[in-house]
Amino acid sequence: MLLAALLAGPCAQAQDALQAIDSCLARLDPVADVGYERIAARCPDLTRTLTSSGWSEWLPASWREPGNDLSAGSLEELRAIVTRELASERVGPQPRVERLHEVLAELDTSRERGGLWERFRNWLRSLFEASDDPEGPGWFARLIERMGVSQAVIEIITYVGLALAVGLTLLILVNELRLLRDSRRRSTTRRAEEAATPAARGPVTWADIERVPLVERPGLALRLLADRLTSAQRLPPAASLTVRELVCTARIDDPEDRRRFASLSQVCERVRYAPEPVGDGLLEEAVRDARTLYERIGVQEARA
């Protein structure tokens, strides 16, 4: 019916429609001019010409509704299709057009669905939309049904997932218990070491420093120097200060004494945090500098 109307229509109407489309395409921006409102604003006579010529039947049924995707590409496709149909020669009997509107409606629906991303979104929407039957299968059951997975495979996947979840839980539990055991062991060892040091028994003296192993002497010497500086009111109580804060806070006027104090602090940090053991020569030098600084602070305190 549609093709017959087009082929039997006056030639003047066909030429007018072609000219209207060509004129409109010349004024359209293929990127910006999308939608019926923008195209109608650019080409006011296009709607009337297409409707009177019958060519509008080749467009989607909703081509004049707001928010559609009518564009310059749609008009070019319409022009190419109808021009080809008008130019072709009709051979044999007239085609049957009883189901033409049904086919065009299906094409209209597929065109409105858009590209791959739009079809994917429609599929997800249909998957997660609530079913009309409240007691019907959920979205996961509908997904499995569409995928065509057998019930045996579903049960295997379920049991494997459950086993993985239980295994992961046990692994986390065992790891936490191991960390707790190591933490308690380190805490016990630290308390035992602290109880064995002279610092745990009371004030540190230089005689105590000389009795401990060489690697422990810089730390005790730094504590002894901090106590002496505190008693001389040249350092606030150092119990809550870090090693670097001790160096920055201590009031030591002599540059050479400040160098000795900073060098001793660096050796203490290396003994505590360095992955490699500190050499005996560096330890002995730090202890000697600490002894010299200890004596000089004592002399200065006595003079004061």
Relative orientation angle of helices 46-53 and 11-27, to the nearest 10 degrees: 150
For position 157, what pLDDT does the model report? 84
Count, residues in the chain: 304
- Model pLDDT for residues 162-178, shown as the tens digit of each residue: 999 999 999 999 999 99
Nearest 5°: CA angle at 166, between 164 and 172? 100
Looking at 25-29, 111-115, 142-146, 155-159, which range is the least confident one?
A: 111-115
Share of residues in the chain with pLDDT > 70 (%): 73
Q: Calculate mean pLDDT across residues 196-211.
A: 67
Nearest 5°: CA angle at 170, between 164 and 175? 125
Give the confidence band of 246 by pLDDT, cuts at 50, 70, 90: confident
Looking at 54-63, 94-103, 125-134, 289-298, which range is the least confident one?
A: 125-134
| Nearest CA-CA partner of 278 in 229, 218, 215 | 215
Contact 198, 204 (CB under 8 A): yes
| Helix runs in 202-254, H state only | 206-211, 217-231, 243-249
Q: What span, in angstroms and rounded, lies between the C-alpha atoms of 240 and 192?
A: 22
Give the confidence band of 66 by pLDDT, cuts at 50, 70, 90: confident
Share the mean pLDDT of the chain. Answer: 76
Looking at 4-13, 35-44, 68-77, which range is the least confident one?
A: 4-13
For position 236, what pLDDT does the model report? 82
| Helix runs in the chain, H state only | 2-8, 11-27, 36-42, 46-53, 72-87, 100-112, 116-128, 139-147, 151-196, 198-201, 206-211, 217-231, 243-249, 255-273, 280-303
Domain assignments of the chain as residue spans, ordered by start:
2-112, 149-196, 201-303
Name the residue with tokens 């940090």.
Answer: 269
